[in-house]
């Protein structure tokens, strides 16, 4: 857990890692982060389709990390006067460049997950270390023993989503999050895992299993009895029940196993029927 927290603070950019290994000094890293961001900003001309687009791209790069904890709208993004079409085009360019990617929700509970492009997306930034630098939250993370509540609960899902994306070696599909939006109640899960021919709901929350309302909403609508909670505790699999009475198996998985999530889900399905 200590090693993963260090990774969560520093991120995965090679130059940053190399400098930290050689110096073991976090105080020298901000200059490198700034240099990396500056290089991306100077490269926006490669994705730009005109002077307005360049301004919009720069604005998005400068402000996107501050919206990590919420779903976004294109119109006037980041308290700007830019129109939805301009912002949308810029985001699509940055998504293609894998600098800042749009993660769309799905309402599916059965495979395949069909993204709803009419609903508001979330943002996935290239590297968590760059996010921490922009938000100035690295000092707080050093003192934090559990990432589940860091930056309004959005930092841990961002890291795990980043790791799930990194596991795709033969394709470049982006993962989805799950929503159920009705006038009387809403539910949202930060990540849905495509595993073979089923969708696995993943919750990021510490505390009692009875508080997993959105996960229970998904489980009640799903044809399978499996859910995953990634948290700052020990590994376990427990048989639980939703408030509506459906029995299911909940795998409590330490969040440092993000890159092993498929292996652990395979274990869950193979051993708990």
**Cα–Cα distance measured from residue 252 to residue 232, given in angstroms and rounded to the nearest whole number:** 9
For 258, half-sphere exposure in the C-beta direction (CA atoms, 13 angstrom radius) is: 24
DSSP 111-177: SSP-B-TTSPPEEEES-HHHHHHHHT-HHHHHT-S-GGGTTTTTHHHHHHHHHHHHT-SS-----EE
DSSP 210-240: GG-HHHHHHHHHSSS-EEEEEESS--EEEEE
* Domain spans in the chain, listed from the N-terminal domain onward: 2-147, 176-271
Q: Say which DSSP state 40 is in.
A: H
**Cα–Cα distance measured from residue 174 to residue 190, given in angstroms and rounded to the nearest whole number:** 13
10 Å Cβ neighbour count for 87?
22
pLDDT at 183: 65
Contacts of 219 (CB under 8 A, 6+ apart): 201, 225, 227, 242, 246, 248
- What is residue 66's three-state secondary structure? helix
**Cα–Cα distance measured from residue 11 to residue 127, given in angstroms and rounded to the nearest whole number:** 6
Could you tell me how many residues make up the chain?
Answer: 273
| pLDDT digit string (tens) for the chain, length 273 residues | 889 998 998 999 999 999 999 998 888 999 999 999 888 888 877 777 777 788 898 899 989 999 998 999 999 999 999 999 999 999 988 888 888 999 999 999 998 888 999 999 999 999 999 999 998 888 778 777 788 878 778 889 999 999 999 888 766 788 999 998 776 668 899 999 998 889 999 999 776 655 899 999 999 999 999 999 999 999 999 999 999 999 999 999 999 999 999 999 999 999 998
For residue 117, give Cα distances in angstroms to 105, 121, 179, 202, 264: 8, 8, 13, 21, 30
The reply to whether omega before 112 is within 30° of 0 (cis) is: yes
């Amino acid at each position: 857990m200590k090693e993963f927290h260090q990774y969560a603070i520093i991120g995965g950019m090679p130059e940053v890692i190399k400098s930290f290994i050689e110096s073991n000094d976090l105080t020298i890293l901000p200059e490198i982060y700034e240099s990396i961001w500056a290089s991306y900003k100077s490269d926006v001309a490669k994705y730009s389709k005109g002077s307005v687009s360049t301004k919009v791209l720069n604005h998005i790069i400068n402000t996107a990390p501050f919206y990590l904890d919420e779903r976004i709208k294109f119109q006037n993004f980041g308290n700007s006067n830019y129109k939805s079409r301009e912002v949308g085009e810029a985001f699509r360019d940055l998504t293609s460049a894998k600098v800042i990617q749009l993660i769309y929700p799905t309402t599916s509970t059965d495979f395949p997950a069909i993204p709803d492009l009419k609903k508001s997306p979330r943002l996935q930034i290239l590297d968590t270390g760059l996010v921490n630098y922009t938000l100035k939250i690295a000092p707080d993370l050093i003192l934090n023993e559990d990432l589940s509540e860091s930056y309004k609960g959005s930092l841990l899902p961002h890291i795990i989503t980043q790791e799930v994306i990194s596991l795709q070696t033969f394709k470049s599909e982006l993962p989805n999050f799950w929503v159920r939006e009705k006038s009387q109640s809403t539910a949202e899960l930060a990540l849905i895992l495509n595993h073979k021919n089923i969708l696995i709901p993943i919750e990021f929350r510490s505390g009692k299993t009875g508080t997993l309302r959105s996960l229970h909403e998904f489980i009640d609508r799903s044809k399978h009895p499996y859910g995953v909670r990634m948290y700052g505790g020990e590994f376990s699999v427990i048989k639980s029940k939703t408030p509506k009475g459906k029995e299911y198996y909940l795998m409590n998985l330490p969040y440092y196993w993000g890159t092993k999530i498929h292996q652990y889900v395979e274990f869950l399905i193979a051993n708990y029927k």
